[in-house]
Structure 1
Amino acid sequence: MTTPTAHTSFVLERRFKASAARVFAAWADPAAKQRWNDCHAETGATEFSMDFRPGGFEIYRSQLDDGTPLAVDKVFLDIVANARIVFAYSMAMGGRALSASLVTVEFSDSASGSTLKLTEQLAYLDGHMDIKQRRRGTEEGLERLLLEVEAI
């Protein structure tokens, strides 16, 4: 028997000295994305591939410190260069489905650089709930993105 699905969401905003085009490019380039977006940066990906286009997929696999496999499967739904990325992804750990999410990332230029707004809507499956960890993991990724796009 499964438990009811739990729904939640969060919004994060970040300001960058870099242009929206530069920040967007760090999402679009597979090598750059892998450097800053690794879900568990301390362990690293065991498999990563990305086809950055509407209908394209991103596959991420890693192993947690205890050996438990982590799988993230993503599909890009909408991409507007330098302005918007919409994607859906599912996360599983040890073969158990944890969640499914819809994420919208919006980019806009400002006088001092650019702003990124990320909105994630989550469906937690079968009693799993890690909103604080998920939000913190996303914040850590955005902190690494800042370092990626503002490095000289």
Structure 2
Amino acid sequence: MASIAHDTLTFSQSIDAPRSVVWAAIADSVQRTVWGVPAGEAQVYDESDFRVGGRDVYRCGPPETFEFSGVAEYLQIVPESLIVHTDVVAVEGQILAVALLTWQFETQNGATRVQLTDQVTSFVGTDMIDGHRNGHTKALEQLRAFVEG
């Protein structure tokens, strides 16, 4: 039997830019491929449909293999305020983790505060939980640098 692990992870990032600019960087899959993965890795979208009921189908990992595949399904989108979506990550058809992600955006002192809550279940132990923690931390830092840069 697989080793099940789960956690609720929360992250926040203050970005010195209007919500409309931060929102555009998140809503647009082309921009997401720039800031959304750690250095040395890449992401490509085979499908991108950012709307309630839409879904993104993507591959990510080292650019020579793109070993991970994923599907994000959008459950709720309130422009410049809220995104709720699921995310399923697999390798060669084996599901590694399933997550429910909630992105919240608010203006604070002229900057945009992004809060991300990731409720993740891993079917392969705690490494996927650690991967979510490290990946989201880096992605939010890179989002800030991308938008402010």
1:11 and 2:10 matched: yes
CA RMSD of aligned residues (A): 2.0
Give the match's secondary structure for 1:148: helix
Question: Residue 83 of structure 2 corresponds to which residue in structure 1?
Answer: 85
Tell me if 1:20 matches 2:27.
Answer: no
* Consecutive unaligned residues in structure 2, runs of 5 or more: none
Q: Give the match for residue 148 of structure 2.
A: 150
SS of residue paired to 2:35: helix
8 Å CA contact 1:88–1:102 kept in 2: the answer is: yes
TM-score of the superposed pair, with normalisation by structure 2: 0.88
Aligned residue in 2 for 1:95: 93
Q: Please identify, of 60-69 and 142-151, the stretch whose mean Cα deviation from structure 2 is larger.
A: 60-69
Among all aligned residue pairs of Structure 1 and Structure 2, give the percentage whose two residues are the same amino acid: 27
1:50-103 CA-to-partner distances (Å, cap 9, x unmatched) read: 110001111111354784721111101100000000000101124321110000
- Asked if the contact 1:8/1:121 (under 8 Å) is kept, the reply is yes
Structure 2 letter corresponding to 1:80: V
Count, aligned residues? 148
The match for 1:49 is 47
- Asked whether the 8 Å contact 1:68–1:93 carries over to 2, the reply is no
Which residues of structure 1 form unaligned runs of 5+? none
What residue number does 1:106 align with?
Answer: 104
Corresponding position of 2:60: 62
